[in-house]
Amino acid sequence: MKQTKGFKWGRKSKERLAKEALLHAGKHAFHDRRKKKRNFRKLWQIKVGAGSRQQGLSYSRLIGGLKKAGIGLNRKVLSQLAEKKPEIFNKIVEKAK
């Protein structure tokens, strides 16, 4: 019953409803921990794509160019560079071309 504190309606105080609510809550928490990773990767790809388009290069060509150039930056770092340090990101895009 301690775990259901804050749940709505009878699911916080009635044992049968609380048990059922906890099962569903656990299932959603498990799936959403994985969804969170997916969502962040999508966000990073959008940021990197927007930064690379400003330099006249598509996202896929940028990633392909980075692999050929042997630059091993991941999408998270690339998105942070594109957002906060565009001058460094532009140099990386030039090397990828």
pLDDT in tens, the chain (97 residues): 888 999 988 898 989 999 999 999 999 999 999 999 999 999 999 999 999 999 999 999 999 999 999 999 999 999 999 999 999 999 999 999 8
Q: Would you state the pLDDT for residue 68?
A: 95
Q: Which tens digits make up the pLDDT trace of 43-64? A: 999 999 999 999 999 999 999 9
Residue 1 lies in a domain: no
Report the candidate in 48, 53, 51, 55 with the shortest Cα–Cα distance to residue 73.
48
CB 79 within 8 A of CB 47: yes
The domain in which residue 80 lies consists of 7-96
CA–CA distances in Å: residue 20 to residues 1, 14, 17: 12, 10, 5
Percent of the chain topping pLDDT 90: 87
Taking the model in full, what pTM does it have? Answer: 0.78
**How many domains, the chain?**
1
The number of C-alpha atoms within 13 Å of 6 and in the hemisphere containing its C-beta is 4
- How far apart CA 14 and CA 11 sit, in angstroms, is 6
CATH code where residue 38 lies: 1.10.1900.20
Residue 2 lies in a domain: no
